[in-house]
Structure 1
């Protein structure tokens, strides 16, 4: 009959063992018996055997503890970090990046990042020199240069730096006007905060270096924010117009210089052309002077005919004053040339014109023209 069937209570292996009810074995009793065997020599197998087994157990435990102690001493310092080693709480040395070992419970290593740039912001409402309230927000960027001083020069370096930044901002804003903080004086305020912050933290020798300070925002009170926004927009427009004017000036100035150079070159060319033409006229008159001296009347008559030929080439109507008869002759050359254009070449029409001019001249000479009449004719020619 199975022990768990009805009527099989006496067959329960955990009860009635040794004449009394007994439950499952206790784990505490098992471990106590096990350690007792190591300490007493295996349950009474002899005094020499018990001592050897007990010493072996202690040795194994000590070896295991030593291995754990050695393994727990290995640590790694990253590339951007430097390790500050404290031996029994006192500074011992710096540790370079890499895999290192330290005696546990003797040395303590504190890794400090010395390459990364950290940032910290400060914001608050402050009173300006002209008794206006502005909300200013700035951000400081810093880097750790001396790990030991950063860890032990002050109790809390982050809090100390935050308080120093807040104090520097309030000092600068309190000695500045509201318009300067909100508009064109931001860069000057940023530089002043930087200088003031360095002056505050240098005596503490915190082991940090200020990399930069950013002027993130400056806002007026909500009641006058719209007016200040308009003022800032107007100043930005002013700067934009100034830049546009400077750009236009840089663009138009080379163009004007080019026009000046072109006009100067044109004037120089005109000067040379007029000079050459004048010299040509001088040469022509110098060649004509001997001919005039040899035959003045013939030369004057030839010059007159050549001049009249040039004048009549551009004239379609000619009026001839015949003083001898008191009549005025009208020659419609445009009509004559128009009628003869389909029959005669242009060269024949020009010869016809010359013939008419010669006939006119001969007629004027046959009408007892005096030298004074010729001079009057030349005077009319000059007026024409």
Structure 2
């Protein structure tokens, strides 16, 4: 049976101590007995009184030493100390070993060099009434320990709530495609600016170092469809870049061909103009000769024209004035020969009149085989 069970249990350790019915000791009686001993010691004469004073002095000295030693503290290199005197701001202290009067001053160390993180995520409604899940992370640093400690009641909670408000405001004023695809950087920048405008009136003594857009995705029910849409947009951008690269590659070549064709056309134009001017000059030179002998000049012009026309054909002119004998010539070999085929034909057949293939039938003495052409007949393949 336990000693504290009801029913008159006599196993209570504070009862029957020393054979008497006794309860737990009283603290007032303990202190009274202690000071009574010091009083009795003082009643034994001067030595007892001095011993009592010495004990009190030692006790007070020990308490003073403990109080003095307890006042030493250390501020680390990355921290600044905010000193409060009787609960009111007193000063700020730099890193190092410091001392403060215990029970008078209190010190709150604040880290002012470390980069702190604050994340926020949640499902949000966009401007086009779609639901997206956004996760962003903020990095900040404390620049004013006093403002960080006393500007707001809980600065970390206030920052978290301000970040949530900024994200929801920006996402609520953006379309879903902008948040999920190519507008992520713009959204990140807008959230940063909105957060700055929210915390600026509070003057919390913090500086926003960076804002990271960690994730943005649609609800799981439509995730596959949005993945396909994003892949299609990426393919579109890729095709556009490939088309631009092809245009940059083909455009210089097209410009080169166009310039070459323009130059060729210009050269052809100049050639035709010069040829026409040459013909005009030639006819101007023939005009006096025509006035002197019109019929002879017409016949000569006719014969020269026919010589130029038939000089580019496969016809062979044979002089039949000395007889109508049929001649068999290796015409295929003659026509496939080089530019001296006319001279070869003249050497083979003395009476054969053919146009010169190199100078279009004109001899070196500017004469033409007009006499042979008048009384000749055209043979094609031995006819």
TM-score (structure 1 length as normaliser): 0.59
SS at match of 1:274: helix
Q: Is the 8 A contact 2:118 2:137 kept in 1?
A: yes
Please name the residue that 1:118 is paired with.
116
Please name the residue that 1:205 is paired with.
203
- Supply the distance in 1 between the matched residues of 2:302 and 2:229 (Cα, whole angstroms): 82
Q: 1:176-224: CA deviations, max 9, x gaps?
A: 4544433455445434433432332222211223344332212222222
Cα distance, 1:157 vs. partner?
Answer: 1.8
Cα distance, 1:158 vs. partner?
Answer: 1.9
Structure number with the bigger relative contact order (C-alpha 8 A, sep ≥ 6) is: 2
Unpaired runs of 5+ residues, structure 2, are 1-54, 354-367, 378-383
Cα distance, 1:122 vs. partner?
Answer: 0.8
Aligned length: 303
After TM superposition, the structure 1 = structure 2 runs for residues 1-384 of structure 1, keeping only pairs within 5 Å, are 72=72, 77-78=77-78, 84=82, 86=84, 90-94=88-92, 105=102, 108=107, 110-114=109-113, 117-128=115-126, 132-318=130-316, 334-335=330-331, 347=343, 349-350=345-346, 355-357=351-353, 361=371, 364=374
Cα distance, 1:154 vs. partner?
Answer: 1.8
SS at match of 1:205: coil
Decide whether aligned partners of structure 1 residues 203 and 363 sit closer, same or farther in structure 2, where only a CA change above 3 A counts.
closer
Please name the residue that 1:13 is paired with.
none
Cα distance, 1:86 vs. partner?
Answer: 4.9
Cα distance, 1:135 vs. partner?
Answer: 1.9
SS at match of 1:159: helix
Decide whether aligned partners of structure 1 residues 302 and 123 sit closer, same or farther in structure 2, where only a CA change above 3 A counts.
same
Superposed CA RMSD in Å reads 4.8
Q: 1:237-278: CA deviations, max 9, x gaps?
A: 223223333333333333333333232222222222222333
- Supply the distance in 2 between the matched residues of 1:131 and 1:345 (Cα, whole angstroms): 91
Q: Is the 8 A contact 2:123 2:133 kept in 1?
A: yes
Decide whether aligned partners of structure 1 residues 239 and 69 sit closer, same or farther in structure 2, where only a CA change above 3 A counts.
same
Q: Is the 8 A contact 2:318 2:351 kept in 1?
A: no
SS at match of 1:77: coil
Decide whether aligned partners of structure 1 residues 363 and 257 sit closer, same or farther in structure 2, where only a CA change above 3 A counts.
closer
Q: Is the 8 A contact 1:141 1:213 kept in 2?
A: yes
Unpaired runs of 5+ residues, structure 1, are 1-53, 323-327, 368-376, 378-384
SS at match of 2:201: helix
- Supply the distance in 2 between the matched residues of 1:222 and 1:174 (Cα, whole angstroms): 20
